[in-house]
Amino acid sequence: MNWRVAQRRVICSGDWSVERLAAVERQIRRNAPMTSGEWRINLGEISTLDTAGAVMVQRLCRRLRTAGASVQLEDVSAERHAVLKLVASEMEVTPRRPYSNPLERLGRRVTDGCFGITEYLAFIGRLTADSLPRMLRPHRLRWHEIAVELERAGVMAIPIIGLLAFLIGIVMAYQSGDILQTYGANIFLVDLLGVIILREMGPLMTAVIVAGRTGASYTAQIGTMHLTEEVDALRTMGVTPFEMLVLPKFLALLIALPLLTVWADAIGLLGGMLVSSLLYGVDFDVFLRRLPTAVPPNMFWVGIAKAPVFAALIASIGCYQGFRIRYSADEVGRYTTISVVQGIFWVIVADAVFSIVLFSWLGL
């Protein structure tokens, strides 16, 4: 036994270290007194007491106090008293979080959301104020940075966008053609693919890919520069971060996304045309002759008109979330995720607004 009871005194002895932890804990659980009154715990005969043993002493004290007893430690050296005090502070029960009204939580979320929107609008205002003077004087623009960003956001995205557009064209042609073939209306596959790809899927799919690829890179790059104090260094040198970091990205994406949309339209139609020819008897020449007559030009231009709006949303959200990163590397991952989610969300919202305004109101 590592302890014994005599005259309302618990005399602890022997080795109270981590090697004997299981045995001591088992003895306390089985044989510790559970009576009220005044109890003293004597630690003078303990040969070894580490933090694990101190935990066992505190558990013994807690067991007695649970039974309604008052406990006092005796024959404790200053060193052991410090260890026991440290362990006791770590074993304190964390106070339960106060009850929060669901309506209060909802209100806080709404307030935080509104505050985030106002911050984003302030960011847009700052971007506009810094951009307009340089847009009116093109020689003041940083064309080298714009070209670099154009290569990253546009040229390097061509393979992945082309591949996905081709696959989506194949899938849409196969799914639509299987239904149309039932009614002997294979030729209308040209009409369906032309409208869906040129008006909706081309620009929307391209914007979603760019939001996940380029928008995330904008957030991560600017956030990392914040953490390494490169943004502060730019300000020290008299260079506006918006001029150096935001404006080139914004303009490059405004140029790149419409061009990528045209590329996605062409490759998507190619994939659909391939399936139409191989599976549904709509040859290439028939497909190409019918496409201009079945799909009016405004379908193409509506899709292209969406691209700059999508680009503005993706670039501004990506840069804005990057500037919110301040303190730790953990924020880089968190705000990058927020950037991608918000970018895709607002792209889809903008596409829905385009559909309502152009189709319902303007009849396009």
Q: What are the extents of the domains in the chain?
A: 3-90, 142-361
**Quick check: 364 pLDDT over 80?**
no
Of 141 and 7, more confident: 141
> Which residue is listed with tokens 């013994």?
60
Once rounded to an integer, what is the mean pLDDT over residues 271-279? 89
**Quick check: 184 pLDDT over 60?**
yes
Of 43 and 336, more confident: 336
- Tens digit of pLDDT for each residue in 91-103? 765 555 666 678 7
- Tens digit of pLDDT for each residue in 284-329? 888 888 888 888 888 888 889 999 999 999 999 999 999 888 878 8
Judged by DSSP in three states, 359 sits in helix
The CATH number of the domain covering residues in 3-90: 3.30.750.24
List CB contacts of 141: < 8 A, sequence separation 6 or more: 134, 135, 247, 251
**Quick check: 104 pLDDT over 80?**
no
List phi, psi (to 5°) of 85: -65, -40
| DSSP for 142-183, written as a single string | -HHHHHHHHHHHTGGGHHHHHHHHHHHHHHHHHHHHHHHHHT
Instruction: Report the pLDDT value the prediction gives residue 2, as an integer from 0 to 100.
Output: 56
Of 244 and 310, more confident: 310
**Quick check: 278 pLDDT over 60?**
yes
Instruction: Report the pLDDT value the prediction gives residue 98, as an integer from 0 to 100.
Output: 62
Instruction: Report the pLDDT value the prediction gives residue 317, as an integer from 0 to 100.
Output: 92
Instruction: Report the pLDDT value the prediction gives residue 99, as an integer from 0 to 100.
Output: 61
Give the bridge partners for 69, in sequence order.
Answer: 37
Closest of 6, 351, 3, 23 to residue 206, by C-alpha: 351
Instruction: Specify the amino acid at residue 343.
Output: G
Q: Which of 54-63, 223-232, 334-343 has the lowest mean pLDDT?
A: 54-63
Percentage of residues in the chain having pLDDT higher than 90: 28
CA–CA gap between residue 363 and residue 358 (Å, rounded): 6
Instruction: Please give the angle made by the CA atoms of 305, 310 and 314, to the nearest 5 degrees.
Output: 160
List phi, psi (to 5°) of 325: -75, 125
Instruction: Report the pLDDT value the prediction gives residue 360, as an integer from 0 to 100.
Output: 67
Instruction: Report the pLDDT value the prediction gives residue 210, as an integer from 0 to 100.
Output: 94
Instruction: Specify the amino acid at residue 25.
Output: E
Once rounded to an integer, what is the mean pLDDT over residues 250-259? 93
Instruction: Report the pLDDT value the prediction gives residue 315, as an integer from 0 to 100.
Output: 93
List phi, psi (to 5°) of 4: -140, 160
- Tens digit of pLDDT for each residue in 113-133? 777 788 888 888 888 887 777
Once rounded to an integer, what is the mean pLDDT over residues 137-149? 83
Instruction: Please give the angle made by the CA atoms of 335, 340 and 343, to the nearest 5 degrees.
Output: 115
CA–CA gap between residue 285 and residue 49 (Å, rounded): 90
**Quick check: 362 pLDDT over 70?**
no
Tokens of 219: 């957030």
Tokens of 13: 């002895």
What is the average pLDDT score of the chain?
Answer: 84
Of 34 and 154, more confident: 154
The predicted model scores a pTM of 0.68
CA–CA gap between residue 303 and residue 223 (Å, rounded): 32
CA–CA gap between residue 120 and residue 288 (Å, rounded): 45
**Quick check: 246 pLDDT over 80?**
yes
Instruction: Specify the amino acid at residue 110.
Output: V
Closest of 356, 316, 331 to residue 131, by C-alpha: 316
Residue 208's pLDDT band, with cuts at 50, 70 and 90, is very high
Once rounded to an integer, what is the mean pLDDT over residues 183-208? 89
Instruction: Report the pLDDT value the prediction gives residue 1, as an integer from 0 to 100.
Output: 47
Of 20 and 56, more confident: 56
Once rounded to an integer, what is the mean pLDDT over residues 144-167? 92
Helices (H), the chain: 21-31, 51-66, 78-90, 102-136, 143-153, 158-182, 189-195, 202-210, 216-227, 230-236, 241, 247-279, 284-294, 297-323, 329-354
For the chain, report the end-to-end CA distance as a whole number of angstroms: 90
Give the bridge partners for 10, in sequence order.
Answer: 5, 41
**Quick check: 281 pLDDT over 60?**
yes
Once rounded to an integer, what is the mean pLDDT over residues 340-354? 92
Percentage of residues in the chain having pLDDT higher than 70: 92
**Quick check: 82 pLDDT over 80?**
yes
Instruction: Report the pLDDT value the prediction gives residue 120, as an integer from 0 to 100.
Output: 85
